[in-house]
């Protein structure tokens, strides 16, 4: 669980990192052609003729990563074959079905808060950049659906209740075992009117509403169910306000506590409902939540920058002047991260990487890059420009920064290291990920115990036996150094909420810089 947000990042053996204060301000993956699967799993990844990375290849790998994070009953066409069924009794502790969904990082807990953000960002990637994904758009939709199916269950099985987690995180972090071997408690956590959780509920609203639009044309009945569930969860989020980490107990909130509070999630969920429903009644509510807080990062915790960019879509592309304040706030965010901006509050490493946190920094890089690419699209469509005081900003300016950050992730850095597993000539071999670092059930059918996993595999200096293709790790430190150490969870753990925004950004770049 590599958590880190405008908030924090998670720990391997215990929950220490999660408790840190903020650093600053088709249900199956459809791989229809055998050669495509071979290419994705082969570890290829090259420079295209134009001198930039092969973004289309990286896109396919970034989407494939989500198969390795699946919980539940795996489908017959599962391409990541070192994973097997897991968590098949999830929810039974509360007499509900909570099977499925994603493990957020290298552990075996299902945290609803980051899973919902992952689903929202995968959905936004498809909605905004699906046209550039070509055949991979089907795979991206399948990744959305795997998360949305779970969130729909979590939101609809018990009236007035939203299930927000499965598994005992402290017990889980004391073990190093495959998801298929889990024998730690699968505790169930929920928010309700008597145990408020507007942060996790607001994010779940965003995920369900965004996913409903992804499937509006392909599966109208499913889309309607998702949207109805989103509305229901929004009522819960607004009616009973509070942070879920104050309500649910079990220390699960300490791993993904919303340090930014919950109003940003209410704004985020409302913005997505506005887009999904076109119901102008949400506008008044948006203004009641709006504030002028300046932010320089976007994450599973702090949604302000994302909500403002999303609302700017309507201001720029649709000409809705009532949303101009959100456009101005979105542009303030970009002025805080652009190099050379007089109002920048963002550090860059000597190698050119945006550096926001010592814990899982690439999640912030990926999320910011998504917003850069997406706002660049809006600016290009509307022929809009703006200035950061004396610095003029164009769509090209934003796209160039997004490209530089993604190129760094894919290998254009002082280490010559691709931080996406399986892409390029050199990539992390010892990622902090239980299923990747332990032999598969197919190759080692016998149960591997909680402590045996540590003794035999975690402390081993050997490369992980299972290549988790497409996994983007936490990344290098502020000096561009990367130890490739399984025990260094802050740098070596991959997460779904790093890959999800990167999917959209890679699609945008694949369209802008086609391999020739």
Task: State the catalytic residues.
Answer: 484, 493
Task: Give the residue from 131, 154, 15, 125 showing the smallest Cα distance to 66.
Answer: 125
Identify whether the C-beta of residue 11 lies closer than 8 Å to the C-beta of residue 173.
yes
Place of tokens 């036996």: 465
Specify the 3-state DSSP secondary structure of 194.
coil
Identify whether the C-beta of residue 309 lies closer than 8 Å to the C-beta of residue 374.
yes
Q: Can you tell me the distance from the alpha carbon of 472 to that of 500, in angstroms, rounded to the nearest whole number?
A: 10
**Which run of H or E residues covers position 199?**
helix 198-214
Identify whether the C-beta of residue 300 lies closer than 8 Å to the C-beta of residue 22.
no
Specify the 3-state DSSP secondary structure of 347.
strand
Task: Give the residue from 276, 203, 278, 188 showing the smallest Cα distance to 233.
Answer: 203
Percent of the chain as helix, strand, coil, to the nearest 5: 50, 5, 45
Provide the 8-state DSSP code for 419: S
- Residue 402: both structure tokens together: 């997004």
With a CB cutoff of 8 Å and minimum separation 6, the contacts of 244 are: 113, 164, 191, 195, 196, 197, 198, 199, 200, 201, 253, 258
Pairing of strands 347-348, 188-192: unpaired
Other CB atoms within 10 A of residue 185 CB: 14
96-134: burial string, b at 16+ Cβ within 10 Å, e else: bbbbbbbbbbbbbbbbbbbbbbbbbbbbbbbbbbbebbe
Largest Cα–Cα distance of the chain, in whole Å?
65
């Amino acid at each position: 669980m590599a958590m880190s947000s405008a908030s924090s990042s998670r720990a391997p053996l215990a929950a220490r990192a999660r408790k840190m204060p903020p650093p600053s301000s088709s249900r199956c993956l459809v791989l229809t052609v055998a050669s495509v699967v071979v290419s994705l799993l082969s570890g290829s990844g090259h420079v295209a003729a134009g001198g930039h990375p092969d973004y289309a290849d990286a896109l396919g790998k970034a989407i494939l990563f989500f198969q390795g994070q699946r919980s539940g009953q795996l489908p017959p066409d599962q391409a990541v074959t070192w994973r097997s069924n897991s968590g098949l009794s999830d929810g039974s502790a509360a007499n509900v079905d909570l099977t499925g969904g994603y493990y957020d990082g290298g552990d075996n807990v299902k945290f609803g808060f980051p899973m919902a953000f992952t689903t929202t960002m995968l959905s936004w990637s498809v909605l905004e950049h699906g046209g550039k994904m070509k055949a991979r758009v089907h795979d991206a939709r399948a990744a959305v659906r795997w998360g949305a199916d779970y969130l729909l269950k979590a939101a609809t099985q018990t009236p007035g209740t939203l299930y927000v987690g499965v598994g005992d995180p402290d017990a889980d972090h004391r073990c190093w075992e495959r998801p298929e071997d889990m024998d730690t408690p699968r505790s169930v956590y929920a928010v309700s009117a008597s145990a408020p959780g507007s942060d996790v509920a607001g994010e779940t609203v965003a995920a369900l509403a965004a996913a409903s639009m992804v499937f509006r044309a392909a599966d109208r009945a499913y889309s309607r169910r998702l949207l109805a569930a989103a509305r229901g969860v929004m009522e819960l989020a607004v009616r009973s306000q509070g942070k879920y980490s104050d309500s649910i107990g079990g220390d699960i909130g300490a791993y993904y506590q919303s340090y930014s509070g919950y109003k940003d999630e209410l704004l985020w969920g409302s913005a997505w409902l506005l887009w999904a429903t076109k119901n102008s009644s949400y506008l008044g509510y948006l203004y009641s939540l709006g504030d002028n807080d300046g932010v320089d990062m976007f994450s599973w915790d702090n949604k302000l920058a994302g909500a403002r960019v999303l609302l700017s879509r309507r201001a720029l592309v649709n000409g809705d002047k009532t949303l101009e304040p959100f456009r101005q706030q979105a542009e303030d965010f970009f002025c805080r991260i652009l190099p050379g901006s007089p109002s920048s509050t963002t550090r860059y490493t000597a190698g050119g990487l945006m550096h926001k946190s010592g814990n899982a920094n690439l999640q912030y890089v990926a999320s910011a890059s998504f917003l850069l690419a997406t706002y660049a699209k809006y600016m290009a469509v509307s022929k809009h420009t703006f200035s950061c005081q004396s610095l003029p900003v164009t769509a090209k300016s934003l796209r160039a920064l997004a490209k530089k950050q993604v190129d760094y992730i894919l290998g254009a850095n002082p280490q010559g290291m691709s931080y996406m597993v399986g892409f390029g000539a050199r990539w992390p071999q010892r990622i902090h990920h239980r299923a990747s670092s332990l032999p598969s059930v197919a190759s080692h059918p016998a149960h591997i115990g909680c402590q045996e996993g540590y003794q035999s595999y975690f402390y081993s200096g050997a490369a992980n036996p299972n290549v988790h293709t497409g996994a983007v790790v936490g990344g290098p430190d502020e000096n561009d150094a990367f130890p490739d150490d399984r025990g260094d969870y802050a740098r070596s753990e991959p997460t779904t909420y790093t890959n999800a925004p990167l999917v959209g950004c890679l699609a945008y770049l694949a369209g802008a810089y086609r391999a020739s």
